[in-house]
Amino acid sequence: MDDQYYKIAKMIDHSLLSPILTVPELEAGCQLALAYDVASVCIMPFYLKRCAEILEHSQVEPSTTVGFPHGGHAMIVKLREAEQALEDGCTELDVVVNLSRVLSEDWKYVETEIGLLTRTAHQAGQKIKVIFENCYLADKHKIELCRICTAVNVDWVKTSTGYGTGGATLEDLKLMRENSPPPVQVKAAGGIRTLDKLLEVRDLGVSRVGASATRSILDTCRERLKLPAITF
């Protein structure tokens, strides 16, 4: 596989989180992710076990969400969600922060919750992305979340669920990269629908994007690299 294509495809978490997707659409989405060899499939929790079976023996990771999409679940419920996801084969957890606690600046609660879920993922040998949902936050909240995520060693800080009032912005990505050390990666989600947009955020230091327009993005990539089209 062309190295340039591989590097771009491995930036994409193929999002299958729309609540109105049917089971045949979830199955087809997993097959698309395999065909295009993306980084992961981020799928609704109830379908994770089947997703992990489909992706077994591939280099595409099965991932899911915790506390999605508003982050307001009780901490014990989020913990149980994470444990169930890990039991079902999840290798990357996408966790929404408790937005009410963040906006209340109850940082002790927020750090306790993120720390608990990060330890749970890491003790299972898996990774965690923490979703800020920036469209509802001020810069001071985003900066403090970066500090907390750094302190508890999360793997990625992530801009958005894709289901809030706004998605990833260049300003937020710059802020998150500037306030997170290199071991903490940055993921952009919400509004990444073209190859040019993906390349633009990559230039800011983003290592992953959440996308539902995966096929369009990677077809464009292959066209530009003069690679044969993928059919499946």
Q: What is the pLDDT confidence band of residue 158, given thresholds at 50, 70 and 90?
A: very high
Residue 10 a catalytic site member: no
Task: Select which of 78, 127, 129, 187 is catalytic.
Answer: 187
Does residue 232 carry a pLDDT above 90?
no
Does residue 101 carry a pLDDT above 80?
yes
Residue 226 a catalytic site member: no
Q: What is the pLDDT confidence band of residue 10, given thresholds at 50, 70 and 90?
A: very high
Residue 172 a catalytic site member: no
CA-to-CA distance for 232 and 57, rounded, in angstroms? 18
- Strand pairing class (61-66; 40-43): parallel
On whether the CB atoms of residues 40 and 62 are closer than 8 A, the answer is yes
Domain ranges of the chain: 1-225
φ/ψ (deg, to 5) at 208: -140, 150
Task: Select which of 127, 158, 172, 197 is catalytic.
Answer: 158
Q: What is the pLDDT confidence band of residue 169, given thresholds at 50, 70 and 90?
A: very high
Task: Select which of 88, 94, 155, 172 is catalytic.
Answer: 94
CATH dotted code for 1-225: 3.20.20.70
Complete DSSP assignment for 5-22? HHHHHTTEEEEE--TT--
CA-to-CA distance for 55 and 36, rounded, in angstroms? 12
